Structure 1
Amino acid sequence: MSKALPIVVAAVLGGAALIPIYYATQNPATPKAVTSLSKDASNIEKISYAFGHEVGSQTPPELDMAAFKVGLDAGHAREPLAYTEEELQAAYQAFQQELMDKQNKEAEQVSQSSTQFLTENKAKAGVITTASGLQYSVQQEGTGKQPNAESIVKVHYTGKLVDGKVFDSSVERGEPVEFQLNQVIPGWTEGLQLMKEGGKTTFYIPANLGYGENGVPGTIPPNSTLIFDVELLEVK
């Protein structure tokens, strides 16, 4: 096997480990076209499906599935690689650069939209801005205990991006969460200390008080302003 291929595959797949399923036979049958499997599929069909599903689930969205299937068939047939190690390394490096350029462009766009959002939001009635840049508006004043940075709190929350997309919600899960205030993002550490039990507040958290330039891959883009509707249920 080419030395370059494992490097390229591991890099494109993010280094994910695949389930080590292996099957071999001295007299392989002629493969048949399969588009779906029934419940009474043969054992090898089920195993083959599981292996294909495992590989497919770990492929990046940018992958060209038509080319992937050609390579899969060629590898299964033990055919030699169609490209040299040098060609594969060059393609991988160029692909990585394309991804980086795309991510940088998207991060810049998110940063600009976040800045514009915070500027416009700051001028709205009822929105308060702290010295750190955290913005918040009180929906319901609390009357109970007020936490400090060391407190363990129980809250319900819904987290959204500035475009309104919900990325996380304890409300939707139907189960509040508990955590110590000094172990979460700075915007939460600061913001929850402004609340009292029973209170409901909407926080507008700049990226530097949230997940910053890294974001959360697949969930929160880099440089994102976050909007959290928070209900403080209890201060432990």
Structure 2
Amino acid sequence: MKKFALLFLFISIMACKGPEPRKPVKVNSGSFMKESVERNKKLLASEEQLMQEIIQKDSLHNYLATSDGSRYYYDLKNEVATYTPQTDDIVRFTYTLLTFNNDTIYSEQEIGLQIYKVDKQELFPGLRSSIKLLKEGEKATFLFPSSLGYGYPGDKNKIGVNVPLKATVTLLTIEPNIITN
């Protein structure tokens, strides 16, 4: 019985020892993230080069740069209007999506009339920011790097992985959000 009590005491003392952390099976060095960043920088640089080539070949239009990295020109400019869409405004617009080679991805007819509450609904990043640049009745053509389009996943339909986009956007109407107190 004494042996049993000693054995029980010994096991109890050994069991009180705190848990020991396990060694990681695999140590990540962070190199994947660094490689991904470098890959994305190279992709963006090549897409910006493509945009510059398009702009240089197009002597008919005066391209403007946006703060987010896209380029655009006006097909139809409204010189009279001054108001551009603000958050919570309702806008009606149409657009087409093309590749940089002018191959149609989605036509205006396929997409149809869009009714959009500014900054409150989902649009791809480039389109979301481009709408806020236009005034009522204006039409503009935008060049978006893939990071401002559908990026790596594409749209899971006609737009593949990392496809830069050309979009012609027509802003038909703006209904300003009037807050009543």
TM range (shorter): 0.5 to 0.7
- Cα distance between partner residues in 2 of 1:121 and 1:173: 26
- C-alpha distance in 1 between matches for 2:160 and 2:93: 24
Q: What is residue 140 of structure 1 aligned with on the other side?
A: 76
* Paired residue type of 2:156: P
Identity %: 27
CA drift of 1:204 comes to 0.8
Q: Which residue of structure 2 lines up, in the alignment, with residue 65 of structure 1?
A: none
Q: Which runs of 5+ in 2 are unaligned?
A: 1-42, 176-181
Structural mapping, 1:212-223, within 5 Å: 212-223=151-162
The corresponding residue for 1:181 is 118
Task: Give 1:186 deviation, angstroms.
Answer: 1.6
Work out whether residues 64 and 73 of structure 2, in 8 Å CA contact, stay in contact via their aligned partners in 1: yes
Shift of 1:137: 0.4
Secondary structure, aligned partner of 1:163: coil
The yes-or-no answer on 1:153 pairing with 2:86 is no
Shift of the alpha carbon at 1:222? 1.2
Distance change >3 Å, CA 163–CA 196, structure 1 → 2: same
Counterparts in 2 of 1:1-236, with a 5 A limit? 114-123=47-56, 124=58, 125-142=61-78, 143-144=80-81, 145-170=83-108, 172-173=109-110, 175-182=112-119, 183=121, 184-236=123-175
Q: Quick check: which has more Rg, 1 or 2?
A: 2
The structure carrying a bigger helix percent of its residues is 1
Conserved 8 A contact 1:114-1:224: no
Structure 1 pair 122–132 and aligned structure 2 pair: CA distance change class (3 A):
farther
Task: Quote the offset at 1:173 in angstroms.
Answer: 4.4
Contact 1:146 1:195 in 2 (8 A): yes
Q: Secondary structure at the match of 1:147?
A: coil
Partner amino acid, structure 2, of 1:221: G
Q: CA deviation at 1:198?
A: 0.6
Q: Give 1:223 shift.
A: 1.1
Q: Which amino acid aligns with 2:154?
A: G
Q: What TM-score, normalized to structure 1?
A: 0.48
CA 1:217–1:173 in 2, change beyond 3 Å: closer, same or farther? closer
Q: Which structure is higher in strand share?
A: 2
Helix, strand or coil for the counterpart of 2:155? coil
3-state SS of the aligned residue for 1:190? helix
Q: Deviations over 1:62-119 (max 9, x none)?
A: xxxxxxxxxxxxxxxxxxxxxxxxxxxxxxxxxxxxxxxxxxxxxxxx9787444212
Q: Which has the higher contact order (CA 8 A, sep 6+)?
A: 2
Give the Cα separation in 1 of the matches to 2:87 and 2:51.
25
1:166 maps to amino acid:
T
Q: What TM-score do the two structures reach when normalised by structure 2?
A: 0.61
Root-mean-square deviation over aligned CA pairs: 2.4
1:128/1:232 CA distance change after superposition, 3 Å: same
d(CA) in 1 for partners of 2:44, 2:145: 10
Please say if residues 55 and 63 of structure 2, whose CA atoms lie closer than 8 Å, have aligned partners that are also in contact: yes
